[in-house]
């Protein structure tokens, strides 16, 4: 089991004919992911070819979904057009839209998020690495890789990972896999201040997933999403949880690469978030090198087997 | 992106937000021309830098106060001479301070009462929020902490925009009546339009004032914009003042590098924002101090790495460098080749610790080892951070 996606999930790639989208569509196909359609307006009827794969391209998400039965789309569309691309997924009634695009204006996302209220579509991102449910083949192939994460660092198993940061997620996954601990699903929720799915949404899904035995929660400075998730964990989650907060050394008021990573006040500093983690029974990773070990400590304390 | 007060006020005026009449000067000769545009009488002299706390700041030449009240225009002209070209240190500038290159003269308004007004993003609701208070002219963080009942928040539905009933609610809470209420309502509506139309990240008016004649004015203006949206606002990009930005940060942006200078002596070069932040954290955890935040992005090409090394070495405080790359998709050997070429090109003399992980890492490490360079390899982030801290100590 896994959350949000399974190895059988059929996906659409919006922006498949671009360099970035095309490169990652190929990597997903190599991983064994069911990339069943591409969307590039004006290129409908053409094909995206890679090895023995021949993926049909459509003019719209609705056409692609109808023709292929795909329920998820991944968005590699440039920032000025990305908000529109997300809304197209909502209109097509998809279950999940994963927006990889970095640099979407905040106002566009404010409007998109409002427009998505009441729709059945969940948004992951934007400015996120995507989501991976590892498979059981060589280097975890045969799984569902949506986005830009390196597939081979994963391993099928029982730990859920949720993070705002791409490379920090890879770091955590790599530590787990190196210790022979597999993952159910690894979710990147993105580094922007307005995003579709937050830490708590993902934590709830992991908590409800019987195959997920432990969770790594990676956050950073800015906002209070991590604090909200931590308080919910304290009240509702009995699974071992390890947490890490990046940005202890960040100066106040400066944007650290991620638009969301700005320390606003006393409440959203790394120190404040770490204090809440501890208070909520989350095992804090003292350094980023300690994320997998922190989860192992928590699992041991709770008598839970992660492998 | 930040702009100066006088630029923010020009935007306010364009959107119908009243401000005291003002004029700017960048040279002593310009003082006279600027002051000629203002009526005789009490005048404010305001140093224009991108940092708060100007009024309580001190110039490096000992002169106190970057914002001054003057009874006459002649006094204002003399006062401006103490500020222009000198370096102002405030609680927000850091010890180095900022050189004042523009002086803004404004009519000194008669103040009946001061208020606070700001518009920004509320992250919890993903909606714009108007924050207002009857306690203006003071630090708003202090108000929020000590008298939260004096702080009012209005969340705005982006599908409808700011509704009239919300403006009325704010007006009543702030205690405006009569002509003041009418003027304040108009100002709030126009300020919200300015926020929305310009893709502002934050607008802060502290203080917003009422005058004895019932006028409502923005006495100060602090505006920053969403850098993601600048592509659709060339008129705002034109307001960028490179004098206010770190030259190394400007250079970095040319190579799509995200760089922020800090005060420490261990430079870092990392791919990915989250990993870059945590690399700074882990340096500090093991007793070192990070000299910068530097995210080379997902790729880390040879040209980027060379540019990054040059920028890092432009900081004279740097005593050592930590490179931390998680090559997920990219071949670590390509990255290693880039690092070796960069080190050779810039003739690096400082201690360098490289931690590579990911795709084809064995070949990458072999390339580093065979390079003949005096670099140290780190296995994990913790190992690499400890090594560079020790080398720099």
Ordered by start, the domain boundaries in chain B are 21-107, 113-237, 247-392
Q: Is B227 exposed, middle or buried (0-12, 13-18, 19+ CB in 10 A)?
A: middle
Hey, what are A246's tokens? 């990046």
Contact across the interface for A110 and B282, Cβ inside 8 Å: no
Contact: A260, B123; criterion CB under 8 Å: yes
Does the structure show a pLDDT above 80 at A258? Answer: no
Query: Alpha helix (H) ranges present in B55-176?
Result: 73-83, 140-146, 164-174
pLDDT of amino acid B300? 66
| Predicted confidence (pLDDT) per residue in A224-251, tens digit | 889 999 999 999 999 999 999 998 888 7
**A66 close to A56: Cβ distance less than 8 angstroms:** no
d(CA B355, CA B109): 59
As a whole number, mean pLDDT of residues A45-54 equals: 97
Instruction: Work out the pLDDT band at A255, boundaries 50, 70, 90.
Output: low
Neighbour count for residue B360 (Cβ, 10 Å) = 17
Contacts of B227 in chain A (CB under 8 A): 255, 259
How close A98 gets to chain B, by Cα (Å)? 18
DSSP string, A123-189: EE-SS--EEEE--SSGGGTTSEEEESS-GGG--EEEEEEEES-HHHHHHHHHHHHHTT--EEEEEE-
The CATH architecture one would assign to domain B21-107 is: 2-Layer Sandwich (3.30)
Rounded to 10 degrees, the C-alpha dihedral A259/A250/B350/B370 comes to: -50
Does the N-terminal peptide bond of residue A126 adopt cis geometry, omega within 30 degrees of 0? yes
Nearest to A289 among B262, B358, B381 (CB): B381
Residues of B with CB below 8 A from A176's CB? none
| Secondary element (H or E) of residue A11 | strand A10-14
Confidence band of A14 (pLDDT split at 50, 70, 90) = very high
**pLDDT (mean) for A165-178:** 94
Task: Determine, for residues B258 and A257 on separate chains, whether the beta-carbon distance falls below 8 Å.
Answer: yes
Q: Decide if B381 contacts B353 (C-beta within 8 A).
A: no
Partner-chain residue, chosen from B126, B226, B357, that has the shortest CB–CB distance to A174: B357
Q: Do A166 and B298 touch (CB under 8 A)?
A: yes
Domain extent listing, chain A: 10-124, 155-302
Lowest mean pLDDT among A136-140, A252-256, A289-293, B139-143: A252-256
Candidates 2.170.190.11, 3.40.50.261, 3.40.50.150, 1.10.3720.10; CATH matching B247-392: 3.40.50.261
Residue A171 has its nearest CB partner, among B121, B141, B326, at B326
pLDDT for position B96: 85
Verify whether the Cβ–Cβ distance A167 to B380 is below 8 Å: no
Contact A259 B228 (CB under 8 A): yes
Could you say which of A152, A168, A221 has the minimum Cβ distance to residue B275? A168
Whether the Cβ atoms of residue B40 and residue B77 lie closer than 8 Å to each other: no
Contact check, Cβ <8 Å, A105/B232? yes
Residue in A24, A154, A158, A258 annotated catalytic: A258
Which of A111, A152, A167 lies at the smallest CB-CB distance from B271? A167
- Report how far residue A264's alpha carbon sits from residue B140's, in angstroms, rounded to the nearest whole number: 12
Mean pLDDT rounded to a whole number for chain A: 94
| Smallest CA–CA distance from A113 into chain B, residue | B126
A257/B295 Cβ within 8 A: yes
Q: What is the mean pLDDT of residues A203-218?
A: 97
Span B113-237 CATH architecture: 2-Layer Sandwich (3.30)
Q: Give the pLDDT confidence score for residue B248 in this predicted structure.
A: 86
Give B29's contacts (C-beta < 8 A, 6+ positions apart): none
CA angle B334, B340, B343 (to 5 degrees): 140
B24/chain A closest Cα distance in angstroms? 27
CB contact under 8 A, B272 and A270: no
Q: State residue A265's pLDDT score.
A: 58
Encode chain B (393 residues) as per-residue pLDDT tens digits: 999 999 999 999 999 999 999 999 999 999 999 999 999 999 999 999 998 889 999 999 999 999 999 999 999 999 999 999 999 999 888 788 999 999 999 999 999 999 999 999 998 899 999 999 999 988 887 888 788 888 899 999 999 999 999 999 999 999 999 999 999 999 999 999 999 999 999 999 999 999 999 999 999 999 999 999 999 999 999 999 998 888 888 888 888 899 998 889 999 999 888 899 999 999 999 999 999 999 987 666 778 888 899 999 888 999 999 999 988 777 888 888 888 988 898 888 999 999 998 888 889 999 999 998 889 999 999 999 999 999 998
Helix B164-174 / helix B178-197 crossing angle, nearest 10 deg: 130
Q: Using CA atoms, how far apart are residues A35 and A54, in angstroms rounded to an integer?
A: 10
Q: If you measure CA to CA, which chain B residue comes closest to A219?
A: B274
Q: Which of A226, A142, A151 is nearest to A189 (CA)?
A: A226
Residue B270 with chain A: CB contacts under 8 Å: 167
Task: Name the CATH superfamily housing domain A10-124.
Answer: NAD(P)-binding Rossmann-like Domain (3.40.50.720)
CB contact under 8 A, A287 and B282: yes
Residue-level pLDDT at A281 = 96
State the Cα–Cα distance between residues B351 and B157, nearest whole angstrom.
Answer: 54
Q: Is B382 within 8 Å of A254 when comparing Cβ atoms?
A: no
For residue A146, give both structure tokens: 């949506």
- The residues of B that are catalytic are 116, 204
Which residues in B lie closer than 8 A to residue A152 (C-beta atoms)? 359
Chosen from A106, A174, A245 to mutate, greatest number of chain B CBs within 10 A: A106
On the CB side of A186, CA atoms within 13 Å amount to 38
- The kind and range of the H/E element at B50 are none
Of the candidates B355, B233, B246, which has an alpha carbon nearest to the alpha carbon of residue B293? Answer: B246
Going B159 to A85 to A78 to A162, the CA torsion angle's sign is positive
User: Residue A190: pLDDT above 70?
Assistant: yes
A10-124 and A155-302 share one CATH topology? yes
Q: pLDDT of A58-68, one tens digit each?
A: 999 999 999 99
The CA distance from A117 to the nearest CA of chain B, in Å, is 11
Is the pLDDT at A253 greater than 70, yes or no? no
Residue B100 and residue B26: Cα distance in Å, rounded?
9
Please report the pLDDT score of residue A25 as a whole number.
Answer: 97
Cβ-Cβ contacts under 8 Å, A270 against chain B? 281
- At residue B39's C-alpha, the angle toward residues B57 and B177, to 5°, is 80
Question: What residues contact B55, with CB distance under 8 A and at least 6 apart?
Answer: B65, B66, B67
> From the CB of residue B129, how many other CB atoms can be counted at a distance below 10 Å?
16
Task: Compute the nearest-CA separation of B130 from chain A (Å).
Answer: 15
Report the alpha-carbon distance of residue A199 to residue A219 in Å, rounded.
8
- State the nearest Cα–Cα gap between A302 and chain B, in angstroms: 26
Higher pLDDT, B374 or A296: A296
Distance from CA of A105 to the nearest CA of B (A): 5
> Residue A79 is nearest to which of B157, B228, B280, comparing CB atoms?
B228
> What topology does CATH give the domain A155-302?
Rossmann fold (3.40.50)
Residues in chain B with CB shorter than 8 Å from the CB of A105 are 199, 226, 228-229, 232
Q: Is the pLDDT of residue A86 over 90?
A: yes
Q: With pLDDT > 70 as the criterion, what percentage of chain A qualifies?
A: 95
Is the separation of the CB atoms in A239 and A282 below 8 Å?
no
């Amino acid at each position: 089991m896994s959350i949000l996606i399974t190895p059988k999930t059929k996906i659409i790639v919006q922006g498949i004919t671009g360099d970035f989208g095309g490169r990652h569509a190929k990597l997903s196909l190599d991983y064994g992911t069911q990339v069943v359609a591409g969307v590039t307006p004006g290129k409908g009827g053409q094909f995206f070819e890679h090895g023995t794969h021949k993926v049909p391209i459509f003019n719209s998400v609705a056409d692609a979904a109808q023709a292929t039965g795909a329920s998820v789309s991944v968005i590699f569309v440039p920032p000025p057009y990305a908000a529109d691309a997300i809304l197209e997924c909502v209109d097509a009634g998809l279950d999940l839209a994963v927006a990889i695009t970095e640099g979407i204006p905040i106002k566009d996302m404010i409007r998109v998020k409002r427009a998505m209220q009441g729709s059945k579509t969940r948004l992951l991102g934007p400015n996120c690495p995507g989501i991976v449910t590892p498979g059981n083949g060589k280097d975890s192939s045969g799984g569902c890789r949506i986005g830009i994460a390196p597939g081979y660092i994963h391993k099928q198993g029982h730990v859920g990972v949720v993070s705002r940061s791409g490379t920090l997620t890879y770091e955590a996954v790599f530590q787990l896999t190196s210790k022979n601990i597999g993952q159910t699903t690894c979710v990147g929720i993105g580094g922007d201040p307005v995003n579709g799915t937050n830490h708590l949404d993902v934590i709830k899904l992991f908590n409800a997933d019987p195959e997920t035995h432990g969770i790594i929660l990676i956050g950073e400075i800015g906002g209070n999403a991590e604090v909200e998730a931590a308080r919910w964990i304290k009240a509702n989650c009995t699974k071992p949880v390890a947490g890490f907060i990046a940005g202890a050394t960040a100066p106040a008021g400066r944007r650290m690469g991620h638009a969301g990573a700005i320390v606003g006040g006393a409440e959203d500093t790394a120190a404040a978030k770490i204090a809440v983690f501890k208070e909520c029974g989350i095992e804090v990773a003292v350094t980023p090198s300690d994320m997998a070990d922190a989860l192992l400590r928590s699992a041991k304390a709770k008598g839970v087997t992660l492998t | 992106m930040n702009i100066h007060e006088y630029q923010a006020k020009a935007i306010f005026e364009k959107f119908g937000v009243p401000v005291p009449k003002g004029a700017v000067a960048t040279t002593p000769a310009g003082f006279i021309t600027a002051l000629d545009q203002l009526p005789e009488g009490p005048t404010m002299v305001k140093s224009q830098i991108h940092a708060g706390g100007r009024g309580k700041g001190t110039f490096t030449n000992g002169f106190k106060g970057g914002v001054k009240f003057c009874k006459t225009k002649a006094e204002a002209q003399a006062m401006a001479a103490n500020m222009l070209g000198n370096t102002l240190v405030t609680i927000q500038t850091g010890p180095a301070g900022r050189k004042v290159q523009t002086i803004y003269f404004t009519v000194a308004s008669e103040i009946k009462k001061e208020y606070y007004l700001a518009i920004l993003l509320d992250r919890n609701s993903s909606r714009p929020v108007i924050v207002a208070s009857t306690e203006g002219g003071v630090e708003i963080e202090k108000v929020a902490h000590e008298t939260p009942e004096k702080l009012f928040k209005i969340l705005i539905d982006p599908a409808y925009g700011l509704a009239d009933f919300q403006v009325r609610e704010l007006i009543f809470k702030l205690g405006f009546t009569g002509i003041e209420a009418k003027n304040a309502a108009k100002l709030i509506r126009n300020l919200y339009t300015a926020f929305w139309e310009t893709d502002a990240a934050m607008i802060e008016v502290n203080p917003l004032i009422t005058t004895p004649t019932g006028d409502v004015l923005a006495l100060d203006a602090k505006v920053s914009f969403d850098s993601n949206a600048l592509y659709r606002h060339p008129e705002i990009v034109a307001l960028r003042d490179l004098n206010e930005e770190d030259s190394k940060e400007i250079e970095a942006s040319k190579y799509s590098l995200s760089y922020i200078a800090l005060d420490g002596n261990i430079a870092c070069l990392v791919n990915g924002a989250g990993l870059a932040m945590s690399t700074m954290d882990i340096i500090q955890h093991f007793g070192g101090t990070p000299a910068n935040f530097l995210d080379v992005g997902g790729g880390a090409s040879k040209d980027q790495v060379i540019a990054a090394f040059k920028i890092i070495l432009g900081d004279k405080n740097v005593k050592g460098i930590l490179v931390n790359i998680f090559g997920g998709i990219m071949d670590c050997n390509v990255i290693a080749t880039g690092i070796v070429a960069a080190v050779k090109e810039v003739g690096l003399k400082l201690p360098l610790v490289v931690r590579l992980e990911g795709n084809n890492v064995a070949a990458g490490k072999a390339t580093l080892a065979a390079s003949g360079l005096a670099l140290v390899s780190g296995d994990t982030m913790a190992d690499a951070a400890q090594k560079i801290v020790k080398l720099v100590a």
